[in-house]
Every structure is written in structure tokens, then in C-alpha cells.
């Protein structure tokens, strides 16, 4: 068969195709986003959608399974928290009529996330099997296996990826696709109505299913035992297996492709084959606790393998040798950092500049605009989780009173607002808040790569659809003041923000302007600095635009980076920043 270079995410999409999956759903989230993008780009036979959030994504996939169709739902680790409600019900309901795989892409080291929760724990918590591939080949193969297991054992299957699997590329040998299931629907209340009386019966099924899965795991092809040196052996899973092979090629290994449930006989066979047992796993002592429960205690485990952050070959080597953890590689310390920044021409800048000047308080949310918290804008105070800005603002108001609320704004992007901010808005209005909300509508789910969303009027499959009118929605919820502004116009934006804070009831200001990266053809010529007029006051630097810097006490605009948005020109008291055409 043909060999191709695929990322773990692209390989999962290919696996979905080979497994006969016909419905795939997701909400974008790093490091999982490219799975659905790859499905949409390469496999037109699969219906795919950006759902409004992970909970809805899983519910759509469950519906497909009810209809006899194999389905996949992909999300980042914290997305499974949002989808936990349908997921836990699904664990009881099962997936006998159409196999279901839930892809959880975890982010050890929090490269692009707010926490580093280890979603293998969801397997134990919901009593469903967890598969963990170690490279792209396995990411594809395990997706096919997940569907087989799901249908055979009547259970959803978690396919747990990590950033190093999702975003690493390696060689994949493709397989032949199987025929998809035939879509049918038969009413089956005893399998699908999770009422207490029925759930109590399902509960028994769940325990029996686990026993069968354990039995299957004893000699399944996903768990691979390799005996080399009998002096010591390592139980491991995922990409960590490759780190171990890299630094200690002589050690025997048991690689658990199905990391939950753990097969005790196989584990004992391995521990009996080697003198010393080590467990090397990233993040939580998940395998270790399972083994402890069986009365097996490793010679080396989480006492030496760090529990924090992503592992790599040098950390694994140090742990096995008993040396101090080289937690960060050696780097020169005396050079400037390069933190991520809002892009030149970013429409959020105009809003954050105003909030900064107003000395406003802002509860923030999750997206590119979280970067508005960094200097020089320093315009956001909090960030908790998707949609939290509204609830946080109301809580502050209830705790500190209406006066505090006057200069307090909840700031959220349009995609995040649709994901889980709408309920927060309804709650503010219902509970008689005076909350001021800013929706940053940049016509894309930008941070994850500009996916369309309900406010853009386009679907993942490229079809036009109803475009959600955010202003109408805010009015329908009961907002007393609603304004739409162009954030490139600093004065009008400021005026709307002040009116919002003065007006009674919940106010909503919608900042409307497409992300600069999706309208490159609309960029204006780079601006220039009139060196005679510039007095070096540095006020323009307060905008935080990467295209602006100072050289010899005069502002300089980078011609390649500048998008001509004109925000800095509005800030300059000397009117020294000019359009090029004026020359």
C-alpha cells in the first residue's frame, strides 16, 4: 500500500475514512483542530461539521449512531469537560448500532491550553476503553480499532492523543476502507432512554462490559510486549514509548495501546519476565495507580518520572538514571523573550487600547484576544474557561456593587460567545445584572486557524447557511443597550463603551471587523512617520502593534508588517503618522 507523510490528526481523519465513519463533528481546539479540517479537505463521503461546542458535537455523533452510522467526535482535552454530560450518558447507552469514537487531544506542557488534565482519567471515570497511539501510523490504525471495539463491546471509545501525536508527522502506510454501516432506525427505548429504571439495568451492563474488555485486552494486538534485556522492563504508552526506546534501547517494554482497562494477566506476565519493573508515563500516575490496585509496585515510577509537563528523551533518561529533572533545556538567559502578540492590524487592538485608556476592569475569555492581557495593552484581568467572562462579571458585580460594575466589561469573541457565552448573557439579564459585554466579532474562530462559525454564515463543508445576527440575538435576550462599532475607529468605539457603562441593565457592544489575516487583499499601504513631526513621545507604542518600534527616539513603521489600519495614527497627538499617499 501507498506510504504518505501524515500528522497524527491527518492520520485520524484517514482512519475515520478507512473505518467507514460517515458523520464527524468537532469544535475547533488546539491540538485537535486539524482532524475535522482533514476530513473536510479529503473525504467528501463523510458528513462533517463544526458544531457550536463539544457537547453538541458529541450529541450529533450520538444521533448518528442511533441511526446506525459510525461516527467520530473530536475535541481538545478541555472540550471533553464541556461534552462530559452526554459522554457519561453515552457510556451507559453504548454504541451497538453504530461505532463511536471520541477523540481527546490532550496538551501536556500546555502549549496552547489553560491546563494539562490527563484525559486517560475519563476512561476510568466513565468506564470506557481508552486507546493511545504512539505515532501517526497508530493514530490511523487505532481509529479503525476504536470503531471495531465500539461495535463489538457496545461502548464509546476514547482515542487519546497528545500534542506530540497530533502535531508530529511521520510515515503512514494506508489501508483499504471498509464498507460503512447501512443507516437504519429502530426505536429501542430500553437502549436509549436513560431513565432511572433503565439506567439501573444499563449500569450492570457497564460493569460486565469492562470485564469483557479486560479479557480481550489480555492478548489484543494493541498491547505489545517486547522482551529484550531481562534485567529491567518498562510499562509505558503513547509517544513516551518512543522516548524510552530512544534513551534505553536495551530495556524490555510493554506498550499499552489500550491504556484502559489494563489487562492484569498480561501485566503479570511482563513483570514475571523482568527483574525490575519501571513505569514511564507522561502526566498522571495513571498506569501506576491501576497496577498498585493489582498489588504491583514498580521499582521506578512517579517517584522519579516527573508528573509535570510533557516528557522528552532527556527527561526520561534523567529519570531512569536518577539524575535531576532537566525541566527546561539550557538557553541563553540574557536575551529578550519573544512572547506571542496580537497581529498587526488586529481589530481587537482598538477595543483593548480603549479599555486600557479607560482604566477599565475586564473579565476575559478564550481566544486570540486573551493576548490582550499582555503589556503594553494589559487590558484583561481574568481568563477562566470558555464562556466564563459573563458569569465572572456578574459575580464581581454582585460582590462589589453597581459602582464597581460601571467600569467593568466582560470581553468575549463571537465564536466563544456562541460556544458557551449565550447562556451567560441570558443569566446576567435574568438575574438583573448591569453587566457590560463586549463581543469581539472578527468573522472567524481565529486562534485555531480561522474556522467558520454560525456568525460567519458558512459551514465546515463550505456551504452558505443562516448567518447569526449577534445584535438581534442580544436584543432578543433582553439587552437594554446594543451597539455595533468598527474597532478601527477609536473615538466611536470609546463612545459606545462609555454609553454601555452608563446605561441601565445589560449592555452589549459588538466590535465588528474581520481578522486582518483573512482579508489580506483589503490591507492598505503601510503608513509612514513624518520624522519632523514625531517628538518621540512613544504614545503610539501603547497600541502594542508589532509593526511599530522606536529608532533613535523616532517612531518607525515596518513596511512589510503594517496593514495600514490607522489605529496608531489616531493615537498620535502630533499627527505624525500619515498615509503614504499623502507624500
Partner 1 sequence: MLIAGVGGQGIILASEIIALSAMKEGLDVKKAEVHGMSQRGGSVVSTLRYGQKVFSPLIKSGTADILLGFEKLEAYRTAQAVKPDGVIIVNDQEIYPITVASGKAKYPQNLDQLLVQTGRKVIKIDAYNIAKELGEVRAVNVVILGALASQLDLNKESWLSAIKERVPKKAVQVNLKAFQKGWEVGEKQV
Task: Pull the grid cell for residue 92.
Answer: 451507559
Residues near 475 by Cβ (< 8 Å), separated by ≥ 6? 482
Minimum Å distance from CB 103 to partner 1? 16
Residues of span 233-292 touching partner 1 by CB under 8 A: 239, 242-243, 245-247
Strands 276-280 and 229-236: parallel
Q: Which of 461, 468, 541, 554 binds partner 1 (CB under 8 A)?
A: 541
| Cβ nearer to partner 1, comparing 179 with 338 | 338
| Cell matching residue 439 | 463581543
Q: Report helix, strand or coil for 345.
A: coil
Q: What angle do CA 61, 67, 71 make, to 5 degrees?
A: 30
Residue 548 interacting with partner 1 (CB under 8 A): yes
* Segment lying near partner 1 (by CB under 8 A), choices 28-36, 280-288, 357-365, 457-465: 28-36
User: Is 163 or 363 the residue whose CB approaches partner 1 more closely?
Assistant: 163
Strands 223-226 and 251-256: antiparallel
171 binds partner 1 (CB under 8 A): yes
CA 36/CA 212 separation, integer angstroms:
32
Are the C-beta atoms of 388 and 419 separated by less than 8 Å?
A: no
Alpha helices per DSSP H over 281-358 = 286-293, 313-321, 348-357
**Binding to partner 1 by residue 135, rule CB under 8 A?**
yes
Nearer of residues 470 and 572 to partner 1, judged by Cβ: 572
Q: Nearer to partner 1 by C-beta: 209 or 419?
A: 419
Q: Is 345 one of the binding residues for partner 1 (CB under 8 A)?
A: no
List, in sequence order, the alpha helices (H) in 439-571: 470-477, 490-502, 567-571
Residue 168 touches partner 1, criterion: CB under 8 A: yes
How far is Cα 348 from Cα 240, in angstroms, rounded to an integer? 39
Of 124, 125, 169, 528, which lies in the binding site for partner 1, with binding defined by CB under 8 A? Answer: 169
Q: Please select the residue that binds partner 1; options are 120, 127, 164, 302, rule is CB under 8 A.
A: 164
Among 1, 189, 204, 331, binds partner 1 (CB under 8 A): 331
Q: Is the dihedral of CA 327, 328, 334, 340 positive or negative?
A: negative
- Applying CB under 8 A, among 177, 313, 514, 564 the residue interacting with partner 1 is 313
x/- letters, 47..66, toward partner 1 (CB under 8 A): --------------------
Residue 321 near partner 1 by CB under 8 A = no
- Closest distance between partner 1 and the C-beta of residue 344, in Å? 9
Buried b (16+ CB within 10 A) or exposed e, 408-422: bbbbbbbbbbbbbbb
Q: Does 114 bind partner 1 (CB under 8 A)?
A: no
The residue (of 83 and 248) whose beta carbon lies closer to partner 1 is: 248
Question: CB of 153 within 8 A of CB of 215?
Answer: no
Q: Which residues pair with 413 in a beta bridge?
A: 440
317 lines the binding site for partner 1 (CB under 8 A) = yes
Instruction: List the one residue from 196, 329, 462, 573 that touches partner 1 (CB under 8 A).
Output: 329
Pattern of binders to partner 1 over 557-576, x per CB under 8 A? --------------------
Closest contact distance (angstroms) between CB of 454 and partner 1 is 22
Among residues 15, 20, 31, 156, the one that binds partner 1 under rule CB under 8 A: 31
371 interacts with partner 1 by CB under 8 A: yes
Pairing of strands 100-106, 130-131: unpaired
Are 218 and 265 in contact, with CB atoms under 8 Å apart? Answer: yes
Beta partners for 5? 171
- Quote the least distance from Cβ 275 to partner 1, whole Å: 24
Binding of partner 1 at residue 447 (CB under 8 A)? yes
Near partner 1 in 213-242, by CB under 8 A: 239, 242
SS3 state at 282: coil
Using the minimum distance from each CB to partner 1, give the nearer residue, 296 or 543. 543
Of 140-148, 312-320, 381-389, 519-527, which segment contacts partner 1 by CB under 8 A? 312-320
- What does each C-alpha distance from 570 to 338, 515, 576 come to in angstroms? 27, 20, 10
Among 45, 294, 375, 431, binds partner 1 (CB under 8 A): 375
What CA–CA distance (Å, rounded) separates 342 from 71? 37
Tell me if 417 sits within 8 A of 471, measured CB to CB. no
Kindly state the smallest distance separating residue 296's Cβ from partner 1, in Å.
26
Number of residues this chain uses to bind partner 1 (CB under 8 A): 54
Among 308, 402, 550, 575, binds partner 1 (CB under 8 A): 550
C-alpha distances out from residue 181 to 14, 19, 25, 412, Å: 17, 10, 18, 41
- Residue 528 makes contact with partner 1 by CB under 8 A: no
User: How many Cα atoms are found within 13 Å in the side-chain-facing hemisphere of 11?
Assistant: 29
544 binds partner 1 (CB under 8 A): yes
Q: Does 536 bind partner 1 (CB under 8 A)?
A: no
32 binds partner 1 (CB under 8 A): no
Assess 549 for contact with partner 1 (CB under 8 A): yes
Residue number with CB closer to partner 1 (267 or 555): 555
Contacts 24+ apart (CB under 8 A), 369-376: 369/342, 369/411, 369/413, 369/440, 371/340, 371/341, 371/342, 372/342, 372/348, 372/411, 374/339, 374/341, 374/544, 375/544, 376/541, 376/542, 376/543, 376/544
Beta carbon nearer to partner 1, 98 or 544 = 544
Locate cell 505624525: which residue? 576
Q: Is 336 in the site for partner 1 (CB under 8 A)?
A: yes
* Residues with Cβ within 8 Å of residue 200, at least 6 apart in sequence: none
5 binds partner 1 per the rule CB under 8 A: yes
Of the candidate spans 140-148, 424-432, 441-449, 518-526, the one that interacts with partner 1 by CB under 8 A turns out to be 441-449
Output the smallest distance, CB 323 to partner 1, in A.
13
Q: Which residues bind partner 1 (CB under 8 A)?
A: 3, 5, 30-31, 33, 111-112, 135, 163-164, 167-171, 239, 242-243, 245-247, 312-314, 317, 326, 329-332, 335-343, 368, 370-371, 375-376, 447-449, 538, 541, 544, 546, 548-550
Amino acid at each position: 500500500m501507498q506510504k504518505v507523510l501524515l500528522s497524527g490528526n491527518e492520520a485520524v481523519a484517514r482512519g475515520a475514512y478507512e473505518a467507514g465513519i460517515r458523520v464527524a463533528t468537532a469544535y475547533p481546539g488546539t491540538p485537535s483542530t486539524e482532524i475535522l479540517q482533514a476530513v473536510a479537505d479529503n473525504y467528501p463521503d463523510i458528513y462533517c461539521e463544526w458544531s457550536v461546542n463539544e457537547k453538541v458535537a458529541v450529541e450529533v455523533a450520538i444521533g448518528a449512531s442511533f441511526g446506525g452510522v459510525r461516527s467520530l467526535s473530536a475535541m481538545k482535552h478541555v472540550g471533553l469537560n464541556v461534552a462530559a454530560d452526554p459522554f457519561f450518558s453515552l457510556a451507559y447507552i453504548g454504541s451497538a448500532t453504530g461505532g463511536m469514537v471520541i477523540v481527546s487531544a490532550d496538551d501536556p506542557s500546555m502549549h496552547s491550553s489553560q491546563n494539562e488534565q490527563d484525559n486517560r482519567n475519563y476512561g476510568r471515570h466513565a468506564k470506557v476503553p481508552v486507546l493511545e497511539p504512539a505515532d501517526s501510523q497508530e493514530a490511523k490504525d487505532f481509529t479503525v480499532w476504536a470503531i471495531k471495539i465500539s461495535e463489538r463491546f457496545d461502548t464509546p471509545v476514547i482515542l487519546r492523543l497528545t500534542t506530540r501525536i497530533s502535531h508530529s508527522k511521520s510515515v503512514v502506510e494506508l489501508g483499504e476502507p471498509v464498507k460503512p454501516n447501512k443507516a437504519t432506525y429502530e426505536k429501542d427505548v430500553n437502549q436509549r432512554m436513560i431513565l432511572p429504571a433503565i439506567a439501573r439495568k444499563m449500569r450492570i451492563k457497564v460493569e460486565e462490559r469492562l470485564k469483557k474488555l479486560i479479557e480481550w485486552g489480555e492478548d489484543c494486538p494493541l498491547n505489545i510486549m517486547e522482551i529484550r534485556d531481562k534485567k529491567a522492563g518498562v510499562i509505558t504508552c503513547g509517544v513516551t514509548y518512543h522516548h524510552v526506546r530512544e534513551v534505553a534501547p536495551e530495556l524490555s517494554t510493554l506498550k499499552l495501546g489500550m491504556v484502559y482497562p489494563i489487562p492484569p494477566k498480561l501485566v503479570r506476565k511482563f513483570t514475571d519476565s523482568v527483574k525490575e519493573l519501571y513505569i514511564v508515563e507522561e502526566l498522571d500516575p495513571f498506569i501506576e495507580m491501576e497496577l498498585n490496585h493489582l498489588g504491583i509496585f514498580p521499582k521506578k515510577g512517579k517517584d522519579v518520572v516527573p508528573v509535570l509537563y510533557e516528557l522528552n528523551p532527556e527527561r526520561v533518561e534523567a529519570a531512569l538514571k536518577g539524575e535531576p529533572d532537566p525541566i527546561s533545556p539550557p538557553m541563553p538567559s540574557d536575551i529578550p523573550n519573544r512572547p506571542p502578540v496580537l497581529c498587526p492590524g488586529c481589530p481587537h487592538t482598538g477595543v483593548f487600547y480603549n479599555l486600557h485608556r479607560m482604566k477599565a476592569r475586564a473579565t476575559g475569555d478564550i481566544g486570540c484576544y486573551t493576548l490582550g492581557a499582555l503589556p503594553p495593552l494589559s487590558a484583561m484581568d481574568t481568563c477562566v474557561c470558555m464562556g466564563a467572562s459573563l458569569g465572572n462579571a456578574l459575580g464581581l458585580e454582585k460582590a462589589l456593587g453597581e459602582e464597581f460594575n460601571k467600569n467593568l466589561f466582560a470581553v468575549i469573541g463571537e465564536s466563544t460567545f456562541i460556544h458557551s457565552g449565550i447562556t451567560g448573557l441570558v443569566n446576567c439579564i435574568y438575574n438583573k445584572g448591569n453587566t457590560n459585554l463586549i463581543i469581539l466579532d472578527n468573522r472567524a474562530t481565529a486562534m485555531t486557524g480561522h474556522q467558520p462559525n454560525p456568525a460567519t454564515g458558512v459551514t465546515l463543508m463550505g456551504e452558505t447557511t443562516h448567518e447569526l445576527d449577534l445584535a438581534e440575538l442580544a436584543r432578543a435576550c433582553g439587552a437594554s443597550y446594543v451597539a455595533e462599532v468598527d474597532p478601527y475607529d477609536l473615538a466611536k468605539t470609546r463612545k459606545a463603551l462609555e454609553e454601555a457603562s452608563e446605561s441601565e441593565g445589560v449592555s452589549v457592544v459588538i466590535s465588528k471587523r474581520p481578522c486582518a489575516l483573512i482579508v489580506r487583499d483589503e490591507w492598505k499601504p503601510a503608513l509612514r512617520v513624518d520624522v519632523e513631526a514625531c517628538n518621540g513621545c512613544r504614545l503610539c507604542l501603547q497600541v502594542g502593534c508589532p509593526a511599530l518600534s522606536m529608532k533613535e527616539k523616532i517612531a518607525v513603521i515596518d513596511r512589510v508588517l503594517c496593514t495600514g489600519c490607522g489605529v496608531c495614527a489616531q493615537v498620535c497627538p502630533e499627527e505624525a503618522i500619515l498615509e503614504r499617499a499623502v507624500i
